[in-house]
Amino acid sequence: MYSKHRTRLLSLFEDEKENLLYLKGGSVLNRYDTDFEYPFRQESNFLYVTGANEPDMAAFLHCGTGEYFLVIPRRDVQYAVWMGSVHIPETYRSMYGPDRVIYNDEVSEWIGKIKPGRIHCLPGMEKEVKILGATPDTGHLQDALAYCRVIKSKGEIDYLKKAAAVANQAHLDVMQSVAPGVCEFEMKAVFEHRTVRYGLTHAPYSGIFASGPGSAILHYTENRRIMKSGELFLTDAGAEYRGYAADITRTYPVDGSFTSLQADLYDIVLSSQLTALNMIRPGNKMEDLHMAASREIVAGLHFCGLVSGNVDELIEMNIFALFFPHGLGHLLGLDTHDVGGYPKGTDRIDRPGLRFLRARRTFEPGMVLTIEPGLYFIPALLEPALADDKTAGYLNSKKLKKLFDFGGIRIEDNVIVREDGIENLTTVPKTRQEMELVMAE
């Protein structure tokens, strides 16, 4: 898999016979000025190219010959005492398949011998390249890597499926464990019990386990509230397999049964998501899906009597963004919000809601993305709108003020774009009937 990634990347530099590509791996991070080490997670671009999941490495790719050089640190005996065995170069050749292994203290001499024309590197690496006596170029490699990473290889999709399979089960575990009187962080523990049990010890992002009003906080991290009967519970959490992420969200009632109002609002979000999922085809665009999903939300709110007026006018006035303020979804891969969402030359749309799109792409087969519409009652957005003569007339003030503590609803699936539609990797129940049956078990 990684050999194919290198070939794909080098194909974008085939006219630069004398140049090199340089990628630096990650290092172990410590908590402030202590010796406490955070668990190591490899830098994503380096992992994409090499598959090497150890700290303090680097790699060079020769644009002319296609050779792959892996740079390793020269460890001493103390490293073996504290951290384990020290591998010899032959071991690294066997593990990661480089054409040559170079110790980090040999790189300058090696560069001096081959005398590359330029070394393409990522922004921030210029100083390191200059120290080697070479000329850095930061104008191309970042875009080239994003271009390559957007379309997933078969091996990458296999890894994404494995991450999704574990995350699906972890979400199901939480759904069957939620109950009034339980703390949010207990549900985080339930989720992580499943992922860690399967060896997926790295979380792709900080999970959200939010009940009641907290479910309307888009990046809620406290996870310390006691859940109450009559509230909704939102779980936005994923798993990571060999660096590849799953990112799934479900929202359901704490006590296992939707109220009439919760049911109506939930079905609005589900209809919005299904509308967007059904529109994913090669050639269609993310922003068009976002607006179609937004229309479903506005139409549903209109049906519930929470907004009034012509739906087209409500869309024109950006009323949808008061309830659905974030983007519809994002690319997914080695990073939860994966690279390539905005190809070079693509600008953000300066419009409420749309300006927070994490991807403006025309869909292509092999892309992997999330679709996650939401409906939230956020006082910080609604109170100014209710006080604004331009928007107040479209809003049912009496009903909306009663929902300021309601929270929010979000439904998120992970999908692969195929030639004829999508392959959905998310199997967690999402209809009200399915969820209520699962929670009753």
User: What are the residue ranges spanned by the domains of the chain?
Assistant: 2-149, 151-440
pLDDT at 80: 79
pLDDT at 36: 94
Question: 81-85, 244-248, 289-293, 298-302: which range is least confident on average?
Answer: 81-85
Quickly state the pLDDT bin for 79 (edges 50, 70, 90).
confident
What percentage of residues in the chain have a pLDDT greater than 70? 100
> Alpha-carbon distance 308 to 192, whole Å?
43
Residue 302 clears pLDDT 90, i.e. is over it? yes
**Burial of 93 from C-beta contacts in 10 A (0-12 / 13-18 / 19+):** middle
- Specify the fold of 2-149: Creatine Amidinohydrolase; Chain A, domain 1 (3.40.350)
Q: What is the DSSP string of 171-236?
A: HHHHHTT--TT-BHHHHHHHHHHHHHHTT--S-SS--EEEEGGGGG-TT-----PBP-TT-EEEEE
Residue 341 clears pLDDT 90, i.e. is over it? yes
Quickly state the pLDDT bin for 175 (edges 50, 70, 90).
very high
Provide CATH code, domain 151-440.
3.90.230.10
Quickly state the pLDDT bin for 208 (edges 50, 70, 90).
very high
pLDDT at 85: 84
Residue 82 clears pLDDT 90, i.e. is over it? no
pLDDT, tens digit (0-9, with 9 covering 90-100), for 9-35: 999 999 999 999 999 999 999 999 999
Q: Are 71 and 60 in contact (CB under 8 A)?
A: yes
Q: Is the pTM of this model over 0.85?
A: yes
Residue 78 clears pLDDT 90, i.e. is over it? no
| Residue whose token pair is 């070939």 | 7
Q: What average pLDDT does the structure give for the chain?
A: 97
Q: Are 414 and 424 in contact (CB under 8 A)?
A: yes
Q: Which residues are catalytic?
A: 35, 219, 236, 247, 326, 330, 337, 372, 376, 410, 412
What percentage of residues in the chain have a pLDDT greater than 90? 96
pLDDT at 396: 98
pLDDT, tens digit (0-9, with 9 covering 90-100), for 346-383: 999 999 999 999 999 999 999 999 999 999 999 999 99
> Alpha-carbon distance 284 to 293, whole Å?
14
Helix/strand number for the chain, H first, E second: 17, 16
Spatial neighbors of 380 by CB under 8 A, at least 6 apart, are none
Quickly state the pLDDT bin for 69 (edges 50, 70, 90).
very high
Residue 136 clears pLDDT 90, i.e. is over it? yes
pLDDT at 81: 83
